[in-house]
A = this chain, B = another copy of it.
Amino acid sequence: MNKFMNSPSNYVDESLSGLVAAHSDLLRAGQTGRTIVRRSGVRRGKVGIATGGGSGHLPLFCGYIGHGLLDSCAVGNVFEGPTLQSCVDAIDMADGGAGVLLLYGNYGGDRMNFEMAAKMARVAAVRSVLGTDDVASAPRQERQKRRGVAGLVLAFKTAGAAAEAGACIDDVTRIAEKTVASTYSIGLAWSGCRLPAAEAPLADMGSNEVELGIGIHGEPGIWRKPMGPADALVDEMIERLVEDRGNPGEGGRAVLLVNNLGATPVDELYIAVRRAHEVLTAKRIAIAQTFVGSFATSMEMAGLSISICFVDRETEPLFIAPAASPFWRVQ
């Protein structure tokens, strides 16, 4: 498993330099250069949304900075949380005078640094919402322990749209919480990824194996089996998501996200989409919208995740509100 890089220690910084070179709306900022912000700054009076996390998941996290989405992002090393200072800068630079929401995935390092940073930042009203959508990572009763994966992006969208529309910090926080609470994700992978400094791939699988519930850092999942037909795999994934929703599992309206973990051919993502539509329709879950593509990756991991976010009258329109970031545009 080759890496296209100059050296492991420059991997993240060179990639960020490329990011801002390509997308002139974004800037590397802060004391560390590891805080990415909108070049135009935060509109005065708008609630700011800051995120952060390890590298290796692009477009997550900093690919979602822009109109109708996020304001700033603290960028850690590959699969490591962002540093304290980069978090402090991300919070301060997301400040438009109306408070800042910290919206990030539930990982130890990310949480510790954002919590410390929130105390050190100059912003008065700081709220936090943590993505906990990975149903494979803890039982339902311990939802707050779950990892945040691709479903976090859906909260970026709803909270970002609310903030852009002028909602106050309490409302933006509530929308983010509601989205996180209604989002269920599960991953599936058939080949791992390699950390830039490592010699061997993480979560190395046999050439004909597939693992259900794997995390976006290669954390082990629920089972590993020989590769089976796509439809059966999608069936089990959706079954687990809907079951996790509890009673009533069926019915309602939802946004569907079929996410590429990295190396999956786009054709194969759509094979999953086709089956997901069939299964959800059979469960009387109406699909308000379908997003397909690379939203939260694990470098070159071959696999995909499925997320379902149940929507209501308040959240559904937020998904079609305009947004413009390097990786996600809605018109």
- B-contacting residues of A (Cβ < 8 Å)? 1-7, 11-12, 14-19, 21-23, 55-56, 58-59, 63, 78, 190-191, 193, 207-210, 227, 229-231, 233, 258, 262-275, 277, 290-294, 297, 299-300, 302, 304, 322, 324, 326-327, 329-331
Expressed in whole angstroms, the minimum distance between the Cβ of A300 and any Cβ of chain B is 5
- Considering the complex, give the chain B residue whose CB is closest to the CB of A1: B207
A18 touches B265 (CB 8 A): no
What is the CA–CA distance of A272 and B17 in the complex, to the nearest angstrom? 10
Expressed in whole angstroms, the minimum distance between the Cβ of A203 and any Cβ of chain B is 14
What is the CA–CA distance of A275 and B6 in the complex, to the nearest angstrom? 10
- Given the complex, which residues of B lie within 8 Å of A275, measured CB to CB? 18
Number of copies: 2
A300 touches B264 (CB 8 A): yes
B22 touches A302 (CB 8 A): no
- Given the complex, which residues of B lie within 8 Å of A297, measured CB to CB? 265-266
What is the CA–CA distance of A118 and B246 in the complex, to the nearest angstrom? 56
What is the CA–CA distance of A56 and B267 in the complex, to the nearest angstrom? 7
A271 touches B207 (CB 8 A): no
- Given the complex, which residues of B lie within 8 Å of A304, measured CB to CB? 4
Expressed in whole angstroms, the minimum distance between the Cβ of A39 and any Cβ of chain B is 15
A302 touches B300 (CB 8 A): yes
Most buried by B among A5, A210, A294: A5
- Given the complex, which residues of B lie within 8 Å of A322, measured CB to CB? 331
A272 touches B18 (CB 8 A): yes
What is the CA–CA distance of A227 and B196 in the complex, to the nearest angstrom? 14
Of B21, B208, B327, B331, the contact of A2 (CB 8 Å cutoff): B208
What is the CA–CA distance of A269 and B230 in the complex, to the nearest angstrom? 29
A11-B277 in contact given A2-B302, A4-B264, A207-B1 (Cβ < 8 Å): no
What is the CA–CA distance of A210 and B193 in the complex, to the nearest angstrom? 18
Apart from A3-B265, A15-B268, A263-B263: 14 A-B pairs, beta carbons within 8 A: A1-B191, A2-B208, A4-B190, A4-B304, A5-B229, A14-B274, A18-B275, A22-B273, A58-B267, A59-B266, A63-B266, A262-B265, A293-B327, A300-B302
Most buried by B among A22, A272, A273: A22
- Given the complex, which residues of B lie within 8 Å of A58, measured CB to CB? 265-267, 270
A271 touches B230 (CB 8 A): no
What is the CA–CA distance of A3 and B330 in the complex, to the nearest angstrom? 31
